[in-house]
Amino acid sequence: MLICNVVGARPNFIKMAPVVLELKRLGFDQLLVHTGQHYDKYMSEVFFSDLSMPRPDIHLEIGSASHAKQTASIMSAFEDVCLQRRPDLIIVAGDVNSTLAVALVAAKLLIPLAHVEAGLRSFDKTMPEEVNRIVTDHVSDLLFATEMSAINNLCHEGISDSQVFFVGNCMVDSLVKHVEKAIVQSPWLQFGKREKAYALLTLHRPSNVDNEEILASLIETMNSVSEDVPILFPAHPRTRERLKRLKTKSMNRIELIDPQPYLTFLGLMARAKCVLTDSGGIQEETTALGVPCLTLREATERPSTVEEGSNRLVGTDRAKVFDAIADVLNDRWVLGKVPQLWDGQAANRIAKVLANWWGARSSR
Ligand code: UD1
């Protein structure tokens, strides 16, 4: 069986590394394709070395464009790869445009498709990722879920439960494997910070950064927060671009830094007093680390992080952010527990499902 694993953007690398490494350990034939959706050194290359991931066999070098152009370019280039290499199974992860594009190609060429992190729903179709998640799930043959809400969502959407597997969280596999090494490197010292005495901020959702008024108001709120706790802000390239256009340039005690490599960022998260973010994956990583997470969005597709873990949805409302920060600084935050099967063994479970699936298919 030839398995084709496809990655394209930062969160894909973290989720797929454990799968690729486990399948390699078990001796499966694999082809690793990078679409090139993320291409800057600190958005892509450093993740391969930090995660000890093999280099891609094929790089499509698609780069940035509008959603339609980017998705179409990936589809066109990836179709050629499939026609030449004829994989028996394609694996994609998460909800980025690369995931959607590859899923559509697999469906059209009738190549079985496995989706890692299936079934998550924010129920907000203005998020590009929500559309990507829904379409990918509905053309997938094997769906690997990280939490019970995902299984319920897939069941409500009529997907047969024989295709859905509750395997745990591959992002947490990477975290479990690397967190000690990340902390030993004490990355906070590079930025002159003390453990548990800084907040970490990330912002990149179009809904938060593409509208100047919303971004300006968020920065103003963060400026006020930084009076109580200094903020480290590794800014995504799109955010940095938008920040340049803002009229107010004041950043109080917010330190704007480049996007960080996986290990550095993991170490910074692990020893932060709290994390403020609009990312999906970071909500999960902070829950796994037991670090308070203030999510600057109105909804989450990862409800277990709120119901069980250390995450709270604060949206972009100033008062809610301040209340939450007061709880963090006065140690009133409930850190919760780590959700079921977020134990570092998800890739192992996925490999077992794939071996059984292939066994059943070949004996037909
Ligand atoms: C993408 C995903 C998002 C994910 C995020 C993680 C989609 C629709 N969105 O968002 O779900 O949370 O990745 O980071 O797939 N850019 C660079 N260098 C790069 C990559 C991007 O400068 O290596 C800039 C470009 O200006 C580009 C912009 O960032 O136009 C947005 O990149 P894109 O990949 O389209 O979306 P992200 O915001 O990164």
Condensed to tens digits (0 to 9), the pLDDT of residues 167-192 reads 999 999 999 999 999 999 999 999 99
CA nearest neighbour of 175 among 93, 276, 96, 282: 282
Alpha helices in the chain (DSSP H): 10-25, 45-50, 67-85, 97-108, 128-138, 148-156, 170-184, 206-209, 212-228, 237-245, 262-270, 281-289, 304-307, 318-329, 346-362
Condensed to tens digits (0 to 9), the pLDDT of residues 124-152 reads 999 999 999 999 999 999 999 999 999 99
Residue 198 has pLDDT above 80, yes or no: yes
Percentage of the chain lying above the pLDDT 70 cut: 100
Q: Is the pTM of this model over 0.95?
A: yes
For residue 238 and ligand 1, the question of a CB distance below 6 A is answered with yes
The three-class DSSP label of residue 31 is: strand
For residue 204 and ligand 1, the question of a CB distance below 6 A is answered with yes
Measure the N-to-C terminal CA separation of the chain; round to a whole number of Å. 15
Q: Which residues pair with 144 in a beta bridge?
A: 116, 165
Residue 251 has pLDDT above 90, yes or no: no
For residue 237 and ligand 1, the question of a CB distance below 6 A is answered with yes
Instruction: Give the separation between CA 54 and CA 48, rounded to whole angstroms.
Output: 7
Name the band, by pLDDT with cuts 50, 70 and 90, for residue 97. Answer: very high
Q: Which residue bears the tokens 């990312």?
A: 279
Instruction: Report strand pairing: 254-257 vs 274-277.
Output: unpaired
Residue 248 has pLDDT above 90, yes or no: no
Condensed to tens digits (0 to 9), the pLDDT of residues 256-287 reads 999 999 999 999 999 999 999 999 999 999 99
Please state the atom number of ligand 1 nearest to the C-alpha of residue 44.
23
Please state the atom number of ligand 1 nearest to the C-alpha of residue 95.
11
Condensed to tens digits (0 to 9), the pLDDT of residues 312-341 reads 999 999 999 999 999 999 999 999 999 999
- Rounded to the nearest integer, the mean pLDDT of the chain is 97
Distance 94 CA to ligand 1 centre (A): 14
C-alpha triplet 171, 309, 191: angle, nearest 5°: 65
For residue 11 and ligand 1, the question of a CB distance below 6 A is answered with yes
Please state the atom number of ligand 1 nearest to the C-alpha of residue 39.
23
**Residue 246 CB coordination number (10 Å):** 12
Distance 74 CA to ligand 1 centre (A): 14
Query: One of 34, 178, 204, 236 is an active-site residue; which one?
Result: 204
- The arithmetic mean of pLDDT across residues 100-112, rounded, is 98
3-class SS string, 163-197: HEEECCCHHHHHHHHHHHHHHHCCHHHHHCCCCCC
Residue nearest atom 38 of ligand 1, based on CA coordinates: 204
Predicted confidence at residue 273, as pLDDT, reads 98
Distance 270 CA to ligand 1 centre (A): 24
Instruction: Give the separation between CA 18 and CA 271, rounded to whole angstroms.
Output: 24
Confirm whether 204 is a catalytic residue: yes
Please state the atom number of ligand 1 nearest to the C-alpha of residue 11.
6
CA nearest neighbour of 336 among 278, 292, 299: 292
Q: Which residue bears the tokens 């600084």?
A: 329
